[in-house]
Amino acid sequence: MSLTYPDPSLLKELAGEYGTPLMVYDEDAIRQTMRAYTENFRSDIFETAVLYASKAFLCTAIAGIAMEEGLHFDAVSGGEIYCLAKAGASAERIHFHGNNKTPGEIEDFFRLGHGHIIVDNEDELKLVRSIANSLKQPMDILIRLNPGVEAHTHEYIATATKDSKFGISIDKTDAIISMVNIIEACPYLTFAGFHSHIGSQILESEAFAMEIRVMFEFIGMMHDRHGIDVRDLDLGGGFAIRYTHEDNPPSTESVCRRIISLCEEEVTRRNLPLKRLMIEPGRSIVGDSGYTLYTAGCRKSTDSREYVFIDGGMADNIRPALYEAEYTCRNITRNDEAPDRTYTLAGKCCESGDILIKEARLPETFPGDLLLVHATGAYGYSMASNYNRLGRPPVVFINGSSHRLVLRRETYEDMMNLDVE
């Protein structure tokens, strides 16, 4: 299966109107993926919910689309919650994550309304309890567990290893029961259930099957031995996408149906009162529906490399430098020419590690050519920075031959707005 790209003539038009670097999202593809999740992640014996993982890419436009398609949200900071609220999301649609939420963030979320907080540790739970008692506001609580299932992914995006900073080890039964008791003793807090997450860009669906088996064994034990019922179970995300031709992730339909089938079997076999099952796809919704358009600049040859420099780099996509992420690129200007050259695609930041693609197969490329990098829709813009005082790129949503600007280019003046002298 080949990677897909927007129409080259449209991309040239966008580059002319908005300049480069430019992030382009296919709105129709995003909606189709959201519907693939909501239509296939369904059960006859419990409710289901698809939570858009805001950290993948968030602005009011994408939040609005997610609400129109019936999704809820997970958010990991006050800033993400503020953006969701600006887009019109109610607190009940938001699940507040994070391993070190600040008192101000927690207070603001309580004031937004009755939502869901996923507590990461006992210290955080005590802080949440104190704020709930002070504000006299209700909140549903899920406890994040570390199931110890090690997905085969980069160590920086694996989240369920034994020494992970996230969640409480599932082996610490007494500590987990103590946290449930703290929640139930507070008149404003409701114990809703558990949350787990095993990593990102998981290409093998067996990892999810293992997570489900471990979590339901624990939930069954809590139900049978301790009389603790779990209403909600959030299995997190981690669903992979195709960055390169070598990637072969399972389809959204197959992953959703397998998760639902396995959970239905566990609930029925163990006679558990589970009311709702949740997942958190973010990357897989926007990742390969997003692209970054660059303009080629100077070239340079060394003894072993041919460099093509681009007008962006690690400031708008830090993933290759951060955890060796791989991408595929196409020369839009010479779209009909054979990709018979191998270039190192390097950014303009003052770092030797600012390499976007080590071996990009392209036709002979010249300064001024438009280069399109595939599958930058997740964790590109959301992890972008002003390193070297580079402004964040604009974001355009396309729908067929039409397009609309949803985030304008960050200017020098924007970057100076925080200076007080």
Q: pLDDT tens-digit profile of 39-95? A: 999 999 999 999 999 999 999 999 999 999 999 999 999 999 999 999 999 999 999
pLDDT (0 to 100) of residue 206: 86
Q: What is the pLDDT of residue 361?
A: 97
pTM of the predicted model over 0.95: no
pLDDT for the residue 48: 98
**Cα of 360 vs its chain's centroid, Å:** 26
Q: Which amino acid is at 320?
A: P
Cis peptide leading into residue 21 (ω within 30°)? yes
Which pair of structure tokens corresponds to residue 154?
Answer: 């980069």
pLDDT in tens, 260-294: 999 999 999 999 999 999 999 989 999 999 999 99
Residue 59 CB-half CA count within 13 A: 17
Give residue 151's pLDDT band: very low, low, confident or very high (50, 70, 90): low
Alpha-carbon distance of 298 to 293, in angstroms, equals 16
Helix (H) or strand (E) holding 300: strand 290-301
Active-site amino acid positions? 350
Is the dihedral angle over the CA atoms 247, 252, 255, 258 positive or is it negative? Answer: negative
Q: What is the pLDDT of residues 367-404, one digit of tens each?
A: 999 999 999 999 999 999 999 999 999 999 999 999 99
pLDDT band per the 50, 70, 90 thresholds, residue 155: very low
Question: Rounded distance, CA 338 to CA 410, Å?
Answer: 35
Q: Give the C-alpha separation, 37 to 375, whole Å.
A: 19
- Which residues touch 1 (CB under 8 Å, ≥6 apart)? 242
Q: Place 158 in a pLDDT band, splitting at 50, 70 and 90.
A: very low
Both tokens of residue 177?
């029961």
Contact 363, 331 (CB under 8 A): yes
pLDDT exceeds cutoff 70 at 350: yes
Q: Exposed e or buried b for every residue in 52-83, given b needs 16+ CB within 10 A? A: bbbbbbbbbbbbebbbebebbbbbbbbebbeb
